[in-house]
A and B are shown apart, each in its own frame.
Chain A
């Protein structure tokens, strides 16, 4: 497809388990972002990848969260030892930087529920 895709669309897990969330960005987009959207909250920035540069991890809430981007395309967000407060919708977005102007395109998100 032409848009950003994410999988799974829904994930239910037990507290303490690890989860992996996947994002397939739009082909050719060099920038990839992960956000967390909790009920009643805005979008919380988690991590940002741009080309081959070191990722900006400044938004990751704890060391249980990590992400990687392989081959400059697909990205995986991993949450270890999940906690109930990790329950949220995790959104991925990609963009193409053009002369300082870029527009993010969002995927449908992964709704994570930690029991």
Chain B
């Protein structure tokens, strides 16, 4: 069955610390990969996406993610977090499934950055 796993449910970091959020997926065939962010009181926003090409993708606000096909992973990274990065982060996979496109989301990782 298709699935997306985010192993870290809650992460607490101090400002300037480095961040890596794990995302592993189980999905046959061609996949598109996404990270969405939900800031407190706001709606889900696209952080970055991978369709094809360079497996290292860069998104907004200094975030990047690397697609490692052999590991079925798409981990999110940021070298130095800020207090404003406090949010919930969702990894998602999209691919053709029974003739329709369907997105599978992970359960999310709540990041709290301490000032």
Contacts and interface: CB of A to CB of B under 8 A. Distances in A.
A91 B43 CA distance: 9
Contacts of A102: 32, 94, 101
Interface string A76-107: 00000000000000010100010011111111
Chain B interface SS verdict (over half): strand
B46 A103 contact: yes
Contacts, number: 52
Interface residues of B, number: 25
Chain A interface SS verdict (over half): strand
Interface of B: 4, 30, 32, 34, 36, 42-46, 49, 51, 90, 92, 94, 96, 100-108
Interface of A: 31, 33, 35, 40-43, 45, 48, 50, 56, 91, 93, 97, 100-109
20 contacts: A31-B101, A35-B105, A40-B107, A42-B4, A42-B90, A42-B105, A42-B108, A45-B102, A45-B103, A45-B104, A45-B105, A48-B100, A50-B101, A103-B49, A104-B34, A104-B46, A106-B43, A106-B44, A108-B42, A109-B43
